[in-house]
Every structure is written in structure tokens, then in C-alpha cells.
Amino acid sequence: MSFAELGLSPEILRAVDELGYSEATPIQAKAIPLVLSGRDLLAAAQTGTGKTAAFLLPILERLKKFANPSVSPAMHPVRALILSPTRELADQIGVNAKAYTKHLPLRSTTIYGGVNMDPQTAELRRGIEIVIATPGRLLDHIQQKTIQLNKVDVLVLDEADRMLDMGFIQDIRKIMSLLPKQRQTLLFSATFAPEIKRLAADFMHDPQTVEVARQNSTNAQVEQLVYAVDSGRKRALLSHLIREREMSQVIVFCKTKISADQLSRDLKRDGHAAEAIHGDKAQSARLETLNSFKSGEVKVLVATDVAARGLDISELPFVVNYEMPNSPEDYVHRIGRTGRAGASGVAISLMSPDEVKQHEAIEKLTRQTLPPQTVSGFERRESSAADSGFGSRNAGRERSDARPVREPRAERSERPERSERPERSERPERSERPERSERPERSERAPRDNPHRDSSRQREQRDPQEGLKVARAGVIGGRVLPQRQREVPALLLPPRYKVNQER
């Protein structure tokens, strides 16, 4: 279906034609008419199928009636708010928005963290109809009272499942409480979790559901390969694959920022043009790295999952999962960076023995069988072959219970056999140990010379009166306890009795 058949204005069609768009994708063909009708929409589609244009183009069509060339900020209030989980995705949406509004007097801007707020504040005060923002930085501007959301007509939650994973649910609820009740809400995501449907039930009014592909499915144009390798040889295998397959452009995904930085340094030592990108990098450095990667100056981009959403690189040929993701949904987003817009791609996963469970979870989610393979020269060692899930599905899980039998130790020649040892009754008594009858009585033994301890019996022998006091007071473990006088309350006894407090 062509874009002209979807009811878009000539100004938008002209911008789309200049970008090289000819036919609408399935998600665009189904979503654009529903958005133009003003209905709330809950849309699910594979990443890389054109979701951004599916909500931006009809939003521009709806806001076209408010377009004007006035320089007054009051004539350009915020009418469309698009929330994004990451800076990269927000920046990508902002680039597309400026391209689509090339022939319309509608203003758009992008606000996210990691950069100075002053330029963003100046842009907002100038008047903006379309704001693309991350939740955290948007709340900062709301607190500084540099943005007003009382005239928002359309709200878009892009990659809502990722926002929930990143803990933005409270921020989203706070932002929605500031928006007008009468608005259109659009929720776009590559995957639908139960939490997403609950969120839609809370904030959306009778939404229409659009699904152009089975949930959590991968792109059929992407070839998926899994290589079994020891964790200590992953980096060497990755370097080998980059050279053997002549990867001119590849994104390598790691789970942590530390491992991404370390892998980037190791690949540089191997002679590859590699750079790392993750959340600890300054936004200016991240944008510079992305531009270098898109231009071809950087061949290998080592990234965490922060870059799994929002990177739109045309005809990216390779994606490598250096570390298998803990969440199988992240696998779908990672390999979705390649094979976009109908192009083909290759997704390679390096699986160590301790990542078998992640591999099984991915197969269960995508309903695919991804048999592990080996690369010549990087086969697993024999010592750990029994503990892996590699090879056939059942062969790796069957462990042999046979244990190596220890060889018997050489008998010591001077050690007699058990049968030749004398019985206990026949063993000679120790000559130096006297018989029990010959031992002196306890009373005849010499007292130990201990200046710090003195028994009550010795003190009684020295002074009978003192011994009597000791006996009265009591001795516990050689310590003399002072006698305490018993105090009997007089109110508890009849007055005719005489209380004798001395024992």
C-alpha cells in the first residue's frame, strides 16, 4: 500500500518521498488509519519495521491544522509528547521528526539527560509543538517550570516494555497525571508483557490492538547462529570471526559496562577499529562514537543493552551477542538491529557452558531451535565437555556417573598386618606410668602454687572465722560471693511477728 492511499497530506507525502519511502510497511498500513481516527492504539511489531513513522506521520497530519509561521511562543504550545526509554532512541525519533516536518511549519525538539539543560530550556521557551523526551529529563524541566503540558493532544509511549524494565513506571504515572484527561494515547512496543497490558488498562480508553507479527518473534531475514565456546576463548573467537567473515560493520553486545570497555580494549590490541558505548559515557561522546560507526571510521561497536533500542543503522550486516542476555526479550531487540527494512543480516551468539539456560529461554520465547555449532580450532576442551549443554540437546545433559578408581597405595613393609598386631590385652603397660593403687591420694598431693586463686578450704585452715564467713557467703568456682541481707517488706507480714533479718 502506498502512503498516498493512507490519507496523508501533500506536504508529508513530499517529505516521505524525498526520504525514499515508496510502500508502507504492514505496521504503518494498519496503524496510520487508526491514529488518524483519534483512537487509542496498542501496537506490537518487530523492531525495524517502521514503528516510528507509524505514529509520527499520522501525528503530523493531525497537528497540521495548528501549524503556523508565527514567532510567538504562545502560538506553539506542546501538543504531542513522545516518551522514549533511552537517549539514543529519543535522538533517532527527533531526527525523523525533523525530516518529516521539512515542509510543515511545525517545531520539534528532543530533551534527554547527560547534557546541559540550558540549550533545551531556550528551545522550549521558543515554542515547540512536538517534544521527544526521556522521562527523567522531562521531570527535571517540569520541576524547573520550563515546559507546560496542559495542551497535549497526543501521548506516545515508545518501547514501553523497555521503560518498565528500566524502572520508569513511577515517572510515567507522574507525567500522565499532568496531562489533560482528553487526549489520544499510543503505545508502541516490539514485545507485549502482561505489565504492558495492565499499563494500557490504566491509562488508555478502549484501545485498538494491532499486531503485525507473532509476539516476541524474530525477523525471518536474519540468520541466527550459535557457537559453543569456552568463556576464556570468546574474545579470540570473536576476533577470528570478524576477520574470517570480513565484518565491515558489527555491533557486539555485552551485559555490563565493565565488560564492554574491556572487550573494546582487547579488540583494539587485536588490530580492530573498536569503540565502546554505554550509559557511563557522556552523551557527547556517545553521539560522536555513533557518528564514527555510521560513517565507517569505527568497524566494531561494543555496546550494552542501552544501545539495543533506538539504533537505526541502515543495512547493518552483523550483530554479535558476546554475552547472552539474561532476558530473552533483549535478545529479540539485539538482533533486531540487523535485517531492518527488509534487508538481510546475520546474528551470531557466543555461548559458554554457563549460558545454556539463557539459550534455552531464548528458544522457548522465540519458538525456534538454535542448535549450537563449533568453529574449527575453538572446540571446547575435554575437561568441561560433560558439563555443557552443547552438541545434541540430550548428549550434553547426560553425565557419566562412573568415577575413576584409585590405585591401591603401596603397603609399607615395616607396618605389620592387622592380623599380626598384638591384642590390646597383650600390649605391655607403660613402665613409667604408675599403677592407680600406687598414686598418691588427692589429699596427699602437694597444693598447686597459684597466687591468684585460693580455695575456701585453705582459707578455713588459716582462719576458722574466715572460713565460717566463706561458708556463709558461699563459694562458686573459688570465688567468694558476698552475702546479701534478705529484705522482707513489713507490709507483707502480720504486725505481731518480729522480723529477724539475720540468719
Asked if residue 405 has pLDDT above 50, the reply is no
The answer to whether residue 425 scores a pLDDT higher than 60 is no
Residue 426 has what pLDDT? 46
What is the predicted pLDDT for the residue at 420? 46
List, for residues 148-164, the tens digit of each pLDDT value. 999 999 999 988 877 87
Whole-number pLDDT of residue 308 = 57
Task: State yes or no: pLDDT of 427 exceeds 60.
Answer: no
Hey, is 135 helix, strand or coil? Answer: helix
Q: What is the pLDDT of residue 139?
A: 95
Q: Are 186 and 154 in contact (CB under 8 A)?
A: yes
> What integer pLDDT is reported at residue 307 of this predicted model?
58
Domain ranges within the chain, ordered by starting residue: 3-211, 222-380
At residue 485 the predicted structure's pLDDT band, cuts being 50, 70 and 90, is low
Query: Please, which residues have CB within 8 angstroms of residue 118's CB and are 6 or more apart in sequence?
Result: none
C-alpha cell at 443: 589429699
H or E element in which residue 476 lies: strand 475-476
Percentage of residues in the chain having pLDDT higher than 70:
70
pLDDT at 477 over 70: no
pLDDT at position 443 is: 45
pLDDT value for 446? 47
Q: Which three cell numbers mark 98?
A: 525533523
Nine-digit cell at 257? 559496562
pLDDT tier for residue 47 given thresholds of 50, 70 and 90: low
Average pLDDT, the chain: 78
What is the tens place of the pLDDT at every residue in 67-115?
999 999 999 999 999 999 888 889 889 999 999 999 999 999 999 988 8
pLDDT, tens digit, 9 for 90 and up, residues 306-326: 655 656 676 788 999 999 988
Confidence at residue 213, expressed as pLDDT on a 0 to 100 scale: 63
The domain made up of 222-380 is a member of CATH 3.40.228.10:
no
Q: Does 189 or 125 have the greater pLDDT score?
A: 125
Most confident of 154-168, 233-247, 393-407: 233-247
For the cut 60, the answer to whether the pLDDT of residue 421 exceeds it is no
Determine which of 51-65, 121-135, 184-198 has the lowest per-residue pLDDT on average. 184-198
- Phi and psi torsions of 99, nearest 5°: -70, -40
C-alpha cell read off for 12: 508529508
Render pLDDT for 218-229 as a digit per residue (tens, 0 to 9): 777 789 999 999
All cell numbers assigned to 264? 573494546
Banded pLDDT at 393 (limits 50, 70, 90): very low
198 — alpha (psi -120 to 50), left (phi > 0) or beta?
Answer: alpha
Domains 3-211 and 222-380 share a fold: yes
More confident residue, 463 or 371: 371
Of the candidates 305, 251, 370, the one whose C-alpha atom is nearest the C-alpha of residue 89 is: 305
The pLDDT, as a whole number, for residue 399 is: 40
pLDDT of 358 over the 70 cut = yes
Yes or no: domain 3-211 corresponds to CATH 3.40.50.300: yes
Task: State residue 342's pLDDT score.
Answer: 64
What is the distance between the terminal CA atoms of the chain, rounded to a whole angstrom?
A: 112
How distant, in Å, are the alpha carbons of 182, 274, 277, 278 from that of 254?
Answer: 43, 14, 10, 10
Inform me whether the pLDDT recorded for 29 exceeds 50: yes
Q: Which residues contact 8 (CB under 8 A, 6 or more apart)?
A: 16, 32, 57, 58, 61
In the predicted structure, residue 445 carries a pLDDT above the cut 60: no
